[in-house]
Amino acid sequence: MTIHSFKTGSEKSFRWLAALLTLTAIGMSLATSGCTKKSSNSQELLHVSYDVTREICTAVNEKFIKRYEAESGKKLTIKQSHGGSSSQARSVMDGLKADVVSLALWIDINAIAKSGLIEPGWENRLPNESIPYFSTVVFVVRKGNPKNIKDWPDLVREGVEVITPNPKSSGNGKLSFLAAWGSVTTRGGSEEEAMKYLTDLYRHVPVLESGGRGATTTFLNKRIGDVQLAWENEGYLAVKESKGEVEIVYPPVSIRAEPVAAVVTSNAKRKGTTETAEAYLKFYFEPEVQKLIAENYFRPIDPQIAEEFKEKFPPLTMFRVTDISKGWDDAQTRFFSEGALFDQISKLAAKR
């Protein structure tokens, strides 16, 4: 009887436990269903970009979210991450779950593509080879330009300190290096002369920040340096934030900077955000946003908007990376890879 009683009790206990587990499973299913329903009514994108795009990204995000929510009835959140372009690319490859990237250099996004996170042919998925705007490198100087800096040779005069980011981590840094190099070679100078000039230039650089915004902080807030090599839009932001304590000088020649954008297809597919991410990046090419781009001192690629804002952008001669190398892969190998020209120049510049 004891054994029989024990079995009966066990069966009752088992049936009670089974019923409890069934109810729990149902409850969990309902809870999960509720969560799924909630998540289906909202989406979140992570936009990983380079250092000096905080303001333009914020402005575009506000407009896109308003349109997206009105058209879809769903809530959208767009988070931003900013830093040196090359550092941002490495962060995405190391696991930062970006849905979209907009970086200063083609090589940075292509590195992500080579890692398998972005599908091949990414350049052709957006208009204008995925270049929503362009820019250039300008000089930001102290009010009144006391060192009389007008052209690239003026940067290596005695007593001039130059602020520029590190080309190893920053798109601004790479573009400034290439702009300086091309200022010699595209005006008839030899590569030997360019090498000598860049060595002299980096002897005038007291500190290499990791990104363009850090360089601006060093120049404006710490008041280090006589001239900053900056993105055009960053230069105008510096003028505004300093309340006129600095001003912009356009050199006769500089590089044409062409930032690019792409959906991080592997992440977007896994998160279910591909459609939204693609719509978000295509939004940058619409006239409404091209106008916003121009208002924030990036140069629009829409011809009509460019004509409307032509007085805002002083003319200068701009060369492309293909004018000083075979292309971005070649430029990366020749100038910025381990032991390449920038490393050689840094060692020579250290021997003051």
Q: What is the model's pLDDT at position 352? A: 66
Say yes or no to pLDDT of 14 above 60: no
Check: CB of residue 333 under 8 Å from CB of residue 340. Answer: yes
CB count in 10 Å sphere of residue 179: 25
Say yes or no to pLDDT of 305 above 50: yes
Specify the CATH number of the domain 134-257+315-350. Answer: 3.40.190.10
CA-based torsion, 275, 281, 286, 287: positive or negative? positive
Task: From 166, 163, 150, 154, select the one nearest 211 (Cα to Cα).
Answer: 166
Range(s) within the chain of domains with CATH label 3.40.190.10: 42-132+259-285, 134-257+315-350
Check: CB of residue 52 under 8 Å from CB of residue 235. Answer: no
Say yes or no to pLDDT of 43 above 80: yes
Say yes or no to pLDDT of 342 above 80: yes
What's the mean per-residue pLDDT of the chain? 90
C-alpha–C-alpha distance, residues 14 and 72, integer Å? 49
In this predicted model, which residue has the larger pLDDT, 316 or 37? 316
SS3 19: helix
Task: List Cα–Cα distances, 196 to 70, 167, 185, 203, in angstroms.
Answer: 57, 18, 12, 11
Fold of 42-132+259-285: D-Maltodextrin-Binding Protein; domain 2 (3.40.190)
Burial degree of 91 (CB within 10 A; 0-12, 13-18, 19+): middle
C-alpha–C-alpha distance, residues 5 and 182, integer Å? 94
Percent of the chain with pLDDT over 70: 89
pLDDT in tens, 141-187: 999 999 999 999 999 999 999 999 999 989 999 999 999 999 999 99
C-alpha–C-alpha distance, residues 77 and 233, integer Å? 26
Which residues, at least 6 apart from 325, have a Cβ–Cβ distance to it below 8 Å? Answer: 331, 334, 335
Which residues, at least 6 apart from 181, have a Cβ–Cβ distance to it below 8 Å? Answer: 194, 197, 198, 324, 335
First to last CA, the chain: 99
SS3 313: coil
The predicted model gives 323-342 an average pLDDT of 96
Task: List Cα–Cα distances, 56 to 49, 63, 172, 322, in angstroms.
Answer: 11, 11, 16, 28
